[in-house]
Amino acid sequence: MTVSCVLFLLIFYVHASAASAEEVRAAVASNFLATFHEIAKIFEHDTGHVLAISSGSSGKLYAQVQHGAPFDVFFSADSKRPRLMEQEALAVPESRFTYAVGRLTLWSANPALINGDGQTVLSQGRFEHVAIANPKTAPYGVAAKHTLERLGVWPEVERRIVQGENIGQTFQFVYSQNAQLGFVALSQVLSPKINGAGSRWDVPVHLHRPLTQQAVLLVNGQRNQAAVAFLEYVKAAKAQQIIERFGYGVEEKPHANE
């Protein structure tokens, strides 16, 4: 085979690969963003497809989809909004599944601040501000408020609460020490950026409703084969191992009928 033939075949292969690659527009809850980036990186490497990622609170992303935002897939921090999307014909029926079970942790960038159980730390009040995500739009904010109520410390700490618009902003409040401690996603603390630094108390799961996080294929993405392939990729072992490494539970098998 001549050099010119080899070059022609190489150029043909590159153009064919580019033509078959598709973009997946993903709406991702803030708590899952770092994990999602890790999964996206290997998906793009393995398939050649590209992910365009938008992140925010589940409530705000849901509202954006309602108002016509052109996302293909939605990764929520709860199961409520994906279910509503199915009911409102915004999502493809029977595409909803549980991709992770979240964990809430009380975290401080100060390695000496949280020493013992969370109830004691919160009751002692040796802090000026405690950060939580907005319970109106963020499932992790709902879980944080339920935890404070179940611990019986809500009346004591309510005036010290600062609310993040989403769990990403809440984490930044604590990371920057504008709030001395806060309820964040365990995955954020275990991410490579933090790697478990600081001090924390992992909230027992019985103190709040399960943080069952579901994904769904949106109507806008139903003809996007890359979007369909990505959701299947998330269910497979390689992605599930990453999800576990970031501190999520995956003991629930992916399913849509919850």
pLDDT tens digits, 38-67 = 999 999 999 999 999 999 999 999 999 999
One-letter amino acid at 11 equals I
pLDDT surpassing 50 at residue 105: yes
Is residue 137 within 8 Å of residue 59, measured between CB atoms? yes
Q: Average per-residue pLDDT in the chain?
A: 90
Confidence of residue 258 (pLDDT cuts 50, 70, 90): very low
Least confident of 33-42, 47-56, 115-124, 199-208: 115-124
Rounded average pLDDT over 199-214: 96
Q: What is the pTM of this model?
A: 0.82
Cα-based angle 168, 81, 257 (whole degrees, multiple of 5): 125
Residue burial 204-243, b: 16+ Cβ < 10 Å; e: rest: eeebbebbbbbbbbbbbbeebebbbebbebbeeeebbebb
Is residue 138 within 8 Å of residue 112, measured between CB atoms? no
pLDDT surpassing 90 at residue 181: yes
pLDDT, residue 1, reads 53
CA atoms within 13 A on the CB side of 8: 5
- Short-list 201, 207, 192, CA closest to 113: 201
Confidence of residue 21 (pLDDT cuts 50, 70, 90): confident
d(CA 213, CA 100): 5
Between strands 23-29 and 73-75, the pairing is parallel
pLDDT tens digits, 140-168 = 999 999 999 999 999 999 999 999 999 99
Q: Domains in the chain, ordered, with CATH?
A: 3-101+210-245 (3.40.190.10), 104-202 (3.40.190.10)
pLDDT surpassing 80 at residue 182: yes
pLDDT surpassing 50 at residue 33: yes
Token digits for 125? Answer: 């009040």
pLDDT surpassing 60 at residue 18: no
